[in-house]
Structure 1
Amino acid sequence: MEIRTLTAADLPACSGLAESRSWPREPPKWRLLHDVGQVFGVDAPDGDGLAATAALVAFGSVASISMVLVAPRYERRGLGRAITAHAVSAAGDRVVWLHASTSGRPLYESMGFVADGGCQGHAGTFADDGGPGAEPGSGVFELDRRAHGVDRRPLLERLGTPFVVDGGFAFGTDIGHVTVIGPVVAHSEDAAKALIRGVARTVPGEVRVDPDFRFPGLIAWVRERGLVPGAPAPRLVLGGRTLPGDASLRFAPFTRAM
């Protein structure tokens, strides 16, 4: 089956494939992945949508792979491995990372990906504790570069207005069924909490934040605030290479995809 680079016209089929795997449809996230990266796909031989997808987003020396999906009726034909390998090849010599599901992790490890931390999604209606909250602001590009080691301006410019505190920022982005709070970049756990509060106070529905495993205090706090944990998402890096940037500032990613 031929792997091709998808266009904007293919994005509804991407959402349909996600739904077939019991994932949320998330059209805004697929659009964002298409706008800042590349989305690869395999057309279903039976003519019904897509058989497989994977997204690649590259910033400078780093690239992430996400949305590796295979239609249930085309499982166990090597499509997941093939489309992941295609994305890895497209990344060139960049440091390549991804977040893995429990079922997908053995495949990625067999391809040379090595565990390097991770995060866990938490979603629900935020129960405000009345603490200090961040306010809308600007000037976050250099701090994000410090945290991640690369210029991610094309992504950040599409996320709207950031909420800021001294030495930190976060965005709140509607991805179709929930508002994602992230990336959360901060100099301390208290600052990260203020950023999450600031965004959550402006959102009428449910929010989601994916705290890094390295911050168990923040994980406990978001649970106390009513957010329900989902499945852990270990981060794997191809070849065990070192991700650039200051990891101590990275309290939560934008999503597991970027």
Structure 2
Amino acid sequence: MRLQSFDLQLSDIAEIDLEKLHALSLMVGWPHRRKDWQMLRENGYGIVAQDEIGRVFGSAMWFPFADDFVTVGMVITSPRLQAHGHGRWLMDHVLKQTGSRPLRLNSTRAAHRLYLSMGFTAEKTVYQRQGTAVRAGEPEIPHGAVLREITMGDLTELVALDYLAYGADRAALFARLLQVSKGVALIRDNRIAAFCLCRSFGRGTVIGPVVASDDADAIVVIHPHVAAHEGDFLRLDTRQRTGTFPEFLTRSGLPVFDTVTSMSLGGTWFADDQAAKPGHPLTYALVSQALS
């Protein structure tokens, strides 16, 4: 692509120095560290736009969790190039790579119009909640249930529960998450009924994913992480707008900081929202906005 007085070319994101990717996200105010970029590269594919001397001006990534499902993330364009069709150029390449598979992404306000013009449908709001963690009381563990730490031996059961809530097999992602996360599981009838993972990310620590069948179970598995990080920066991304769960997050020092919009192409993802089915597991916190 020819832009102003220089040319841009697309390169495989796996070949790009992490320092350059980190500088790109800093340019638009995103908190991703070099380690965060590396984890994303280990779980997906992507491209960057470079000029002739190797400067990086944009990026886009995609994460194929199944033959019929892909998430898109880390679509970044430098402020200098946002008005020149650079984002559309990157996304057109993503569409070529992903083919006819349904896509899902979380759009910032700045990119919302672009995705609408490409045929994406806005479906849900994601609430980015963050702040200094506060230990807000001790939730009661449900009768007959116990809490315990998650181990690598829980991988199969976690993936199965996540599949019911999320709708795609993310076994490879969870195998990587368990290497870098601490987790809490709620055990009921000798099975994992709810779980929460927590890991270092960006400015501090991020909670996610969280899977539970109701607000009470979600609160119980999240609370130990809030308590462990009391006084520290904590973040959680959720689609839960009202109820006891978001109320708990507010009391825990995690007010809404920003929002993004979950959008889909090739089929509505939330048309059969499992939240309306009592007892069915639900995703209470995302892995991240890029990975959903």
Please, what TM-score do these two structures have when normalized by structure 1?
Answer: 0.91
Deviations 1:133-167 (A, max 9, x none): 75312231110111122210111111124321141
Residue 28 (1) aligns with residue 35 (2): yes
**Identity, % of aligned pairs?**
25
- AA partner of residue 93 (structure 1): S
Decide whether the 8 Å contact of 1:115 with 1:235 is kept in 2.
yes
Cα distance 1:228–1:243, how it changes in 2: closer, same or farther (>3 A)? closer
- AA partner of residue 211 (structure 1): T
- AA partner of residue 163 (structure 1): V
Matched ranges for 1:89-168 at <5 A: 89-128=96-135, 129-132=137-140, 134-137=147-150, 138=154, 139-160=157-178, 161-166=182-187, 167-168=193-194
Q: Distance in 1 between matches of 2:20 and 2:140?
A: 42
Higher strand share: 2
Deviations 1:220-258 (A, max 9, x none): 321121113211111010144336997431112111111
Cα distance 1:43–1:136, how it changes in 2: closer, same or farther (>3 A)? same
Secondary structure in 2 matching 1:242:
coil
Residue 49 (structure 1) aligns with: 55
Structure 1 regions of 5+ residues with no counterpart? none
Decide whether the 8 Å contact of 1:121 with 1:209 is kept in 2.
yes
Matched pairs, number: 257
Q: Distance in 1 between matches of 2:185 and 2:235?
A: 18
Worse-superposed segment, 100-109 or 82-91: 82-91
Residue 235 (structure 2) aligns with: 208
Q: Distance in 2 between matches of 1:162 and 1:155?
A: 15
Matched ranges for 1:182-193 at <5 A: 182-193=208-219
**Per-residue deviation at 1:4?**
2.3
Larger radius of gyration: 2
- AA partner of residue 166 (structure 2): H
Decide whether the 8 Å contact of 2:63 with 2:71 is kept in 1.
yes
Deviations 1:29-55 (A, max 9, x none): 21111001012101134x363111011
Residue 5 (structure 2) aligns with: none
Q: Distance in 2 between matches of 1:125 and 1:239?
A: 39
Residue 248 (structure 2) aligns with: 221
- AA partner of residue 62 (structure 2): L
Cα distance 1:130–1:55, how it changes in 2: closer, same or farther (>3 A)? same
Cα distance 1:68–1:49, how it changes in 2: closer, same or farther (>3 A)? same
| From 74, 88, 94, the counterpart of 2:95 | 88
Decide whether the 8 Å contact of 1:150 with 1:245 is kept in 2.
no
Structure 2 regions of 5+ residues with no counterpart? 1-7, 142-146, 188-192, 276-281
Please, what TM-score do these two structures have when normalized by structure 2?
Answer: 0.81
**Per-residue deviation at 1:181?**
0.6
Residue 72 (structure 2) aligns with: 65
Decide whether the 8 Å contact of 2:32 with 2:201 is kept in 1.
no
- AA partner of residue 236 (structure 2): V
- AA partner of residue 26 (structure 2): E
- AA partner of residue 5 (structure 1): D
**Per-residue deviation at 1:117?**
0.8
- AA partner of residue 200 (structure 2): D
- AA partner of residue 51 (structure 1): F
Secondary structure in 1 matching 2:168:
coil
Q: Distance in 1 between matches of 2:148 and 2:229?
A: 13
Residue 234 (structure 1) aligns with: 261
Deviations 1:48-101 (A, max 9, x none): 631110111110021111111111222212111111121122222222011111
Cα distance 1:14–1:23, how it changes in 2: closer, same or farther (>3 A)? same
Cα distance 1:150–1:16, how it changes in 2: closer, same or farther (>3 A)? same
Secondary structure in 1 matching 2:169:
coil
Cα distance 1:35–1:243, how it changes in 2: closer, same or farther (>3 A)? farther
Cα distance 1:53–1:201, how it changes in 2: closer, same or farther (>3 A)? same
